[in-house]
Structure 1
């Protein structure tokens, strides 16, 4: 196995190949295939297929249970369990593989600083090694401490009763954008800003930036200039700042692990980037209240406000995937919601990505890289430097992907090219349907808000058509999930508008 530097980008794929035995128990064909990705094997179906094989196991005692808990700060705990085959059963490799991926899924959805295992000795040993330095999931083991500033640990207990109980603590944020406020959304290709007075948008802007720049001062200057240019449109002084960013943001608006600053050296990141939002509020805006959260959570907040209902999962298909959830009462999960890093496709030949050493992460299926990865198969006339195998298309920079997406969107408006180009959006729609089903495993989802540049135009309608087909074919119990789309204006700045209301102001005495 090649050496893996956890702070190197782009990453080299280091996942060991799935064994033939594991393939037998995990790989299955979806009921609705992706036209341009025939070997796509969604995790949610693989898990179902595996559980069916476990249920059909004729020998009692050949199956036991693995229980696990993942602890987060504040006493929050996620719990799950998985039936696993005995060590000498041919399905044991599948049990180890799937358990590792299910744990990884919960980590990137919720976050975690401690993994507690309870189950058969051998599988616990293998998972402990996998989630340690030098293991398959060393990226996760190295990243979680950056998010929480707490060492990552894995322990095993000998009784299920010794596992901590499941506990969640929803987060309540402000919902009224009173006074003069500005808000920003840091994406992987631009900085969106809005000026809001008493809930009314007075101005909005998009500023391009190079997220790959390693200089934190560059990022500080770009963000500040965008914010001040927008603040100049307000009739009075700024009283509060709301924001969203890709990556993990602490409860105190610290950029603990934001992947929109991927190349800032770790020691410099800790000193200059972690406090960047609070520094901007203090130095540039007189210390006004500021609240910054994960971009996926803001997507969900915006969706809940738009439709006036909760139990909503918001998903933005932009430079990457940004997604989050609001409960029925409008409160947030408090999870890290880094769903772009979630395991999604178990196809052994699934694509890698520049941000992690794994194959099949959701980032390559639910954002513009999904479209550009399929562009050539969709009949798009591409220059060599935009072909999926070209080095330019496998770096952290989103610029060539944005340019390629424009070619795809142009082809959708060309009668001669549309039938083949349409298959790109049909395929992404299939991905979207299975992603929604995967998220429904842990969340009560009644509404889904879909937005982002990949959804622009007729292609977005095609995507939702195929997402609905997936739910109808393979998940009829989810047929009542309602799909929502925002206005064109909300697609561009909806997250910013919702973010503006996040900071709560103290009422005057």
Structure 2
């Protein structure tokens, strides 16, 4: 495979950093958050900067980065880091376009990278669908600084009370979680494995409706249905860009997937209120409920991938997409590629903070796994999610073996290092007082080791972030917590 995210020598010289808390099973791990620290020290004497704005339907992101002069041999480090930070902000909030202002050569280089054939072609091709405007291409323009729109956010209020009789679903990349809730109490919950790689939307429709119908049998009636899914969901519950349907052909997706949530609800319960949002947003709302209304909460679900969400000081959503699974964490030139970006990027979060992150470390931790699960076997980017889920079960079982446990613990220490540096990275863009960790990867003793290691990272390298409080719930809540919060989303008249 051709090199993904090629890093120029000047960028490598300035940006590659070794963590003070090392990842025992990943010695090449080079956190982006440390790279930025090193860069800002190196560029401190420069008076030049590049600015950008990322407009979206209900807001705009804005950022300013000091850069090396255009004639400096280190200018490639500025271009590389700016590209990575733009990518990070795109997946935090979404964007219809990229507006650049600053030194001409740097802006030209970034415009080239964010072209349909550039390094960030995946972002360029994805954003129109993410924004629900597939007919409008992602546009890059270089403009005077005075024409850059200011930062703007529009926080959103969602339901937080699960009164009446409700169904809810959480669609992950390896299973369907369903719950039935009666006056705030869970009366039924189940996880059903499914194959998200199936290209037939009728398969997905039947899999979810069958699971919901089983849950429905435990209620006297259905007053509302709430749901969450990976990817982006429109205001009218449209599946605008949901990566749980990755192999459905685009024309079929438009015809049979965009309205799939509305059709599912109607099939199961008729015209009852329905509300479906991104899984990360539900994670944040689950955290708000669990913490009894506290704010500035980052919720992270470590399941098939990384689901993330954020609630502000008032406990409301920001209107961001929070697809942090597509954010780069690791600048190691040998970092893993991934199946979603088709190998065009390295070091993306979903290969670190979900079950694929555990799978790629399993063999190094002494867990006996099939040969094609031993990283960097090329099958690692094509193996189905449910197979990774089975591998995670092998890891968890190995933790119960006294002979294997010491080596398997190093896997969870490594993932804790990933999590700690990721949280420090997120703190630049989110005010985080509390973080709640959910998802099957965080279950059991291994999850405790992971969280304690993440705390150690913050205390050691980022004392300004170490005040954040970590929260978990019992294992059952970790597995279906998002689904329970989703049940409260729709309002009942």
Query: TM-score higher than 0.5 here?
Result: yes
- The equivalent position to 1:92 in structure 2, one of 51, 75, 82, is 75
Q: Which residue of 2 aligns with 1:176?
A: 161
1:408 is paired with a residue whose SS is helix
Q: Is the 8 A contact 2:169 2:178 kept in 1?
A: yes
Q: Is the 8 A contact 2:230 2:307 kept in 1?
A: yes
1:241 is paired with a residue whose SS is strand
Q: Is the 8 A contact 1:117 1:155 kept in 2?
A: yes
- The equivalent position to 2:232 in structure 1, one of 248, 251, 263, is 248
How far does residue 63 in structure 1 lie from its aligned partner after superposition? 4.2
Q: Which residue of 2 aligns with 1:47?
A: 36
1:151 is paired with a residue whose SS is coil
Partners of 2:267 and 2:374 in 1: CA distance: 44
Q: Is the 8 A contact 1:320 1:363 kept in 2?
A: yes
> Do the aligned partners of residues 389 and 28 (structure 1) sit closer, same or farther apart at CA in structure 2, a change above 3 Å counting?
closer
Q: Which residue of 1 aligns with 2:18?
A: 29
Partners of 2:373 and 2:447 in 1: CA distance: 22
Runs (5+) with no aligned partner, structure 1: 1-11
Q: Which residue of 2 aligns with 1:123?
A: 106
Q: Is the 8 A contact 2:326 2:348 kept in 1?
A: yes
How far does residue 17 in structure 1 lie from its aligned partner after superposition? 1.9
CA displacement, residues 89-129 of structure 1 (integer Å, 9 cap, x when unaligned): 12101000000000000001111101111100111111111
Q: Which residue of 2 aligns with 1:80?
A: 63
Q: Which residue of 2 aligns with 1:442?
A: 429
2:186 is paired with a residue whose SS is strand
1:303 and 2:292 correspond: no
The more displaced of 396-405 and 493-502 is: 396-405
Partners of 1:210 and 1:410 in 2: CA distance: 23
1:478 is paired with a residue whose SS is coil
How far does residue 13 in structure 1 lie from its aligned partner after superposition? 5.9
Q: Which residue of 2 aligns with 1:321?
A: 306
How far does residue 393 in structure 1 lie from its aligned partner after superposition? 2.4
How far does residue 281 in structure 1 lie from its aligned partner after superposition? 2.2
- The equivalent position to 2:414 in structure 1, one of 421, 427, 437, is 427
CA displacement, residues 221-243 of structure 1 (integer Å, 9 cap, x when unaligned): 1111111111111022x111100
For 1:53-452, what aligned pairs fall within 5 Å after superposition? 53-55=42-44, 57=45, 62-74=46-58, 76-148=59-131, 149=133, 150-158=136-144, 160-236=145-221, 238-308=222-292, 309-356=294-341, 357-395=344-382, 397-452=384-439
Q: Is the 8 A contact 1:253 1:277 kept in 2?
A: yes
Say how many residue pairs are matched. Answer: 487
The more displaced of 399-408 and 84-93 is: 399-408
Runs of 4+ in 1 over 6 A off after TM superposition: none
CA displacement, residues 58-87 of structure 1 (integer Å, 9 cap, x when unaligned): xxxx5411011100103x011111111112
Runs (5+) with no aligned partner, structure 2: none
How far does residue 399 in structure 1 lie from its aligned partner after superposition? 2.3
Q: Is the 8 A contact 2:4 2:337 kept in 1?
A: no
Q: Is the 8 A contact 1:392 1:400 kept in 2?
A: no
Q: Is the 8 A contact 1:14 1:136 kept in 2?
A: no
How far does residue 161 in structure 1 lie from its aligned partner after superposition? 2.3
The more displaced of 224-233 and 396-405 is: 396-405
Partners of 1:113 and 1:52 in 2: CA distance: 32
2:363 is paired with a residue whose SS is coil
1:20 and 2:9 correspond: yes
Partners of 1:376 and 1:94 in 2: CA distance: 35
2:384 is paired with a residue whose SS is coil
How far does residue 431 in structure 1 lie from its aligned partner after superposition? 0.3
Q: Is the 8 A contact 1:393 1:400 kept in 2?
A: no
Q: Which residue of 2 aligns with 1:3?
A: none
- The equivalent position to 1:485 in structure 2, one of 448, 457, 472, is 472
Partners of 1:255 and 1:268 in 2: CA distance: 13
1:314 is paired with a residue whose SS is strand
The more displaced of 450-459 and 405-414 is: 405-414
Q: Which residue of 2 aligns with 1:503?
A: 490
